[in-house]
Structure 1
């Protein structure tokens, strides 16, 4: 079974989530959309994920979804977002994934997020650092990846493939 996990992000969190999914889905390969844009028609199932910044899914992930919508609608499909505000994950999915794809998805999940200013530079480092300090002052827990959501997404895609 060939499964494509295509991801895009700035700091590596989406890539990390892709790798976690690949461990749960035999035959899966992870592709960084910043480096490569594979043909989803060559795969039996596709999962697309990306980082969300300022409410927007990474441009490469959004473009991949839009350019390959017809192909993705013809096979088992799942999608995910990584973001600091997991409680807004469903909103980000609705805003950034074409409606037909979202309706077709075996699963669409927020897999959580990470705030690591060390992996950033420039203005992004400043903004994320400020956000982290603000969350600390409010005694709000730092964002973290959600292993249960990763397992749920993998299981839903596996179930769809078994049909």
Structure 2
């Protein structure tokens, strides 16, 4: 079975997670949607990954879904997002993904996130400073959730049969 992991990332976290997931799936292919537009017809399983920024998925991911929604509805699909606020994951999913795609996806996971301090533009630095302050006040850590990556890999392997 051919597996596509199509993702878009602003600061490389989503890409890192795509590669971690691909390492657990023999023959999986990762494609950065900001650089290439794969044809999901060529795959048996399609995993869609995106970062969340200001409540929205990456525009390249949104475009991929809009351009291919009919094909995706006929494929085995899984979705992951990378974000710093996992308690808001349902809100992010409902806001960004077609409900029919969410309903048919066999695995939906939040892979967590991480702070990357460079290279940001001035506006991004100000936002990151506020977010870091909030995380310190809440005594929270921001990290990639490897258990969720393992869970999705297991889900994919089970659905390949």
Calculate the TM-score normalised by the size of structure 1.
0.93
Name 1:66's counterpart in structure 2.
66
Name 1:80's counterpart in structure 2.
80
Name 1:21's counterpart in structure 2.
21
Q: Contact 1:90/1:109 (CA < 8 Å) preserved in 2?
A: no
Name whichever of 126-135 and 91-100 sits farther off. 126-135
The equivalences for 1:132-151 within 5 A come to 132-136=132-136, 138-151=137-150
Name 2:103's counterpart in structure 1.
103
Say which SS state the counterpart of residue 143 (structure 1) adopts: coil
Distance 1:129 1:2 in 2: 41
Say which SS state the counterpart of residue 135 (structure 2) adopts: helix
Q: Contact 1:3/1:27 (CA < 8 Å) preserved in 2?
A: yes
Deviations 1:79-123 (A, max 9, x none): 111111011112211211111110110111111011122242331
What is the deviation of 1:139? 4.1
What is the deviation of 1:74? 1.0
Name 1:92's counterpart in structure 2.
92
Name 1:5's counterpart in structure 2.
5
Say which SS state the counterpart of residue 87 (structure 2) adopts: helix
The equivalences for 1:113-132 within 5 A come to 113-132=113-132
Dislocated runs of 4+, deviation >6 Å: none
Calculate the TM-score normalised by the size of structure 2.
0.94
What is the deviation of 1:129? 2.4
Distance 2:72 2:26 in 1: 20
Name whichever of 65-74 and 76-85 sits farther off. 65-74
Distance 1:122 1:25 in 2: 39
Distance 2:8 2:17 in 1: 11
Unaligned runs of 5+ in 1: none
What is the deviation of 1:131? 1.2
